[in-house]
């Protein structure tokens, strides 16, 4: 068999794979398809203009060395940019460009012109019949950086947010994904970035939307046959903020449309900000191609605030509301409510309300009553250690056996149940659960959770295990 585009490219890939990180290889080289080989010129197909630019900027030397090894000094590389057929029924868009380090043409503008069927663009935020294309940002000005207090638990996310606000689309934090548990300030920070950008760059179009509302709008556009207008509308945004992006999980149509909108914005230097209750590695039922894009920028975690930060948050809240409260009471509340900021502020609001409605002075006793109610209403935090102990006791084995490497079926099932309950009842990441239950990786935990779900549906005895154990944790 003679030399073909495929054989040349496979040899190049083998060389490239040895010289770069596995993640970079997966992201930037696996999606490339060799197209043809003619006159020492190898044509490779890449999925977007952004992809081509990235390869030229970061990997052109590596490509040159690999290709020269295969085809000699006169080797040439030609990129074929093939956009997917997203917009109606037109043919996929392709354009060929010689690689810039061959003295050929360098980057050209290759955006696909999107012709809307209706010349008047439909804004999904506007009630039909009202002609208004001004895009309201949907931001809440009360959520700003002034009242988003910095502490160890949020320093990285807050600093990255500030950097994005100063230079939207111009930092390597694109997309910026802010993730963390309930009530830790993800939505607040996302709004704060948007509010700051509007303040600094009034001419930029900023839009905040929850993933749930985005999905509803998309479904509506499919019903009304206005999908192109929907895509076109979102491609006009300069700064797109999508809250609770984990809501897209399992919704393949919405993920697909978001993928194309994201690519268009990213390629055109627009800023994307996302929030999620979990890190990309822990997201289930989100397509791999989307997850890889979430990892392009920065994923910054918001963690539970430490004691000092909790004190600052409470003092700031009291100051903003013009209320004075003795230090020992502020300290008592901060010491006993550790779960999240929403509950912390809720407790202090409740205290202020109690004292003003009942004309009572705020005493330590009153603070104890309020805090007790909040702590009682918060689901008891269950630790991974506690889960392992309960599961081991239930199956009459010790924790060391549960964590061991053995593949005996009943021990494997016990271990999988422990992982399943750790995911269900704790806020720990999959990686953290795995490392605590026998030093396994996050993929093992993911597999365990899926296995438990499957067995719960098909195995009566196993379902009883789950029911019995669930009672012990509730």
Give the pLDDT of residue 380: 53
Give the pLDDT of residue 108: 30
Categorize the per-residue pLDDT at 195 as very low, low, confident or very high, splitting at 50, 70 and 90.
very high
pTM of this structure: 0.52
**Residue 156, pLDDT above cutoff 70:** yes
The CATH number assigned to the domain with range 155-302 reads 3.40.50.300
3-state helix, strand, coil in the chain (%, to 5): 55, 10, 35
Q: What is the mean predicted confidence (pLDDT) over 335-342?
A: 75
| Residues with Cβ within 8 Å of residue 281, at least 6 apart in sequence | 429, 430, 431, 442
CATH 1.10.3720.10 describes domain 384-473: no
Give the pLDDT of residue 191: 93
Categorize the per-residue pLDDT at 99 as very low, low, confident or very high, splitting at 50, 70 and 90.
low
Categorize the per-residue pLDDT at 160 as very low, low, confident or very high, splitting at 50, 70 and 90.
confident
Higher-pLDDT residue of 29 and 114 is: 29
Q: What is the mean predicted confidence (pLDDT) over 348-370?
A: 70
Give the pLDDT of residue 412: 94
Give the pLDDT of residue 76: 86
**How does the average pLDDT of the chain come out, rounded?**
79
**Residue 90, pLDDT above cutoff 70:** no
Give the pLDDT of residue 221: 85
Give the pLDDT of residue 127: 39
**Residue 290, pLDDT above cutoff 60:** yes
**Residue 122, pLDDT above cutoff 60:** no
**Residue 113, pLDDT above cutoff 90:** no
Categorize the per-residue pLDDT at 225 as very low, low, confident or very high, splitting at 50, 70 and 90.
confident
**Residue 217, pLDDT above cutoff 70:** yes
- 239-243 and 271-276 as β-strands: parallel, antiparallel, unpaired? parallel
CATH 3.40.50.10860 describes domain 307-377: no
When mean pLDDT is compared across 82-91, 127-136, 218-227, 256-265, the lowest value belongs to: 82-91
Helix (H) or strand (E) holding 80: strand 76-82
**Residue 135, pLDDT above cutoff 80:** no
Give the pLDDT of residue 360: 64
**Residue 102, pLDDT above cutoff 70:** no
CB atoms inside a 10 Å sphere around CB 237: 21
Measured between alpha carbons, how far is 90 from 365 in angstroms, rounded to an integer? 71
Q: Are 33 and 4 in contact (CB under 8 A)?
A: no
Question: What share of the chain has pLDDT > 90, as a percent?
Answer: 16
In the chain, where the domains are located: 5-102, 155-302, 307-377, 384-473
When mean pLDDT is compared across 33-42, 166-175, 376-385, the lowest value belongs to: 376-385
**Residue 335, pLDDT above cutoff 50:** yes
**Residue 267, pLDDT above cutoff 90:** no
Q: Identify which of 298, 280, 311 has the alpha carbon closest to the alpha carbon of residue 162.
A: 298
Give the pLDDT of residue 172: 80
**Residue 416, pLDDT above cutoff 60:** yes
Give the pLDDT of residue 92: 42
| Residues with Cβ within 8 Å of residue 77, at least 6 apart in sequence | 41, 42, 44, 63, 64, 67, 98, 99, 102
**Residue 78, pLDDT above cutoff 80:** yes
Q: What is the mean predicted confidence (pLDDT) over 48-76?
A: 83
Measured between alpha carbons, how far is 168 from 161 in angstroms, rounded to an integer? 10
**Residue 129, pLDDT above cutoff 50:** no
Measured between alpha carbons, how far is 260 from 266 in angstroms, rounded to an integer? 10
Q: Coil, helix or strand for 95?
A: strand
Measured between alpha carbons, how far is 347 from 373 in angstroms, rounded to an integer? 9
Give the pLDDT of residue 134: 55
pLDDT digits (tens, 9 = 90+) for 363-387: 766 776 777 766 655 555 578 888 9
Give the pLDDT of residue 240: 93
Topology of the domain covering 5-102:
GMP Synthetase; Chain A, domain 3 (3.30.300)
Higher-pLDDT residue of 309 and 438 is: 438
**Residue 119, pLDDT above cutoff 60:** no
CA distances (Å), origin 402, targets 206, 332, 396, 408, 409: 51, 39, 10, 10, 11
When mean pLDDT is compared across 122-126, 254-258, 300-304, 422-426, the lowest value belongs to: 122-126
Give the pLDDT of residue 381: 56
- 33-38 and 41-46 as β-strands: parallel, antiparallel, unpaired? antiparallel
- Cα-trace Rg, the chain: 27
Give the pLDDT of residue 260: 86
């Amino acid at each position: 068999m003679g030399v073909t585009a495929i054989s040349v490219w496979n040899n190049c890939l083998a060389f490239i794979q040895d010289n770069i990180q596995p993640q970079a290889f997966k992201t930037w080289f696996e999606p490339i398809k060799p197209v043809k080989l003619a006159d020492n010129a190898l044509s490779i197909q890449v999925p977007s203009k952004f992809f081509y630019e990235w390869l030229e900027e970061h990997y052109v030397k590596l490509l040159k060395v690999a290709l020269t090894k295969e085809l000699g000094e006169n080797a040439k590389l030609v990129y074929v940019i093939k956009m997917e057929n997203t917009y109606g029924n037109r043919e996929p868009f392709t354009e060929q460009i010689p690689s810039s380090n061959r003295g050929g043409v360098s980057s050209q503008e290759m955006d696909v012109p999107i012709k809307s069927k209706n010349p008047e663009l439909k804004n999904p935020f506007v009630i039909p019949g009202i002609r208004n294309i001004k895009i309201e940002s949907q931001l809440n000005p009360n959520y700003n950086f002034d009242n988003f207090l910095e502490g160890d638990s949020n320093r990285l996310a807050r600093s990255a947010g500030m950097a994005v606000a100063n230079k939207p689309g111009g930092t390597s934090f694109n997309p910026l994904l802010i993730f963390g548990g309930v009530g830790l300030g993800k939505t607040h920070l996302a709004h704060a970035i948007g509010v700051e950008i509007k303040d600094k760059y009034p001419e930029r179009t900023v839009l905040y939307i929850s993933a749930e509302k985005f999905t509803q709008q998309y479904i509506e556009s499919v019903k009304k046959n206005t999908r192109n207008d929907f895509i076109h509308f979102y491609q006009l945004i300069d700064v797109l903020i999508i809250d609770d992006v984990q809501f897209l999980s399992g919704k393949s149509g919405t993920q697909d449309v978001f993928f194309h909108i994201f690519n268009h914005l990213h390629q055109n230097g627009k800023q994307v900000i996302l929030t999620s209750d979990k890190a990309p590695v822990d997201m289930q039922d989100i397509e791999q191609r989307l997850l890889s894009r979430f990892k392009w920028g920065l994923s910054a975690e918001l963690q539970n605030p430490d004691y000092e930060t909790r004190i600052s948050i409470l003092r700031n809240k009291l100051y903003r509301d013009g209320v004075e409260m003795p230090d020992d009471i502020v300290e008592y509340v901060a010491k006993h409510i550790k779960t999240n900021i929403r509950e912390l502020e809720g407790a202090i609001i409740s205290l202020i309300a109690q004292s003003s409605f009942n004309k009572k002075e705020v005493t330590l006793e009153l603070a104890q009553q309020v805090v007790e109610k909040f702590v009682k209403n918060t689901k008891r935090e269950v630790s991974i250690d506690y889960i392992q102990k309960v599961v081991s006791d239930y199956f009459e084995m010790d924790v060391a056996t549960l964590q061991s490497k053995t593949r005996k079926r009943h021990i494997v099932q016990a271990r999988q149940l422990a992982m399943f309950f750790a995911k269900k009842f704790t806020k720990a990441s999959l990686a953290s659960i795995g490392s605590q239950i026998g030093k396994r990786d996050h993929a093992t935990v993911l597999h365990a959770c899926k296995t438990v779900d499957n067995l719960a549906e098909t195995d009566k005895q196993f379902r009883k295990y789950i029911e019995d154990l669930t009672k012990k944790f509730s």
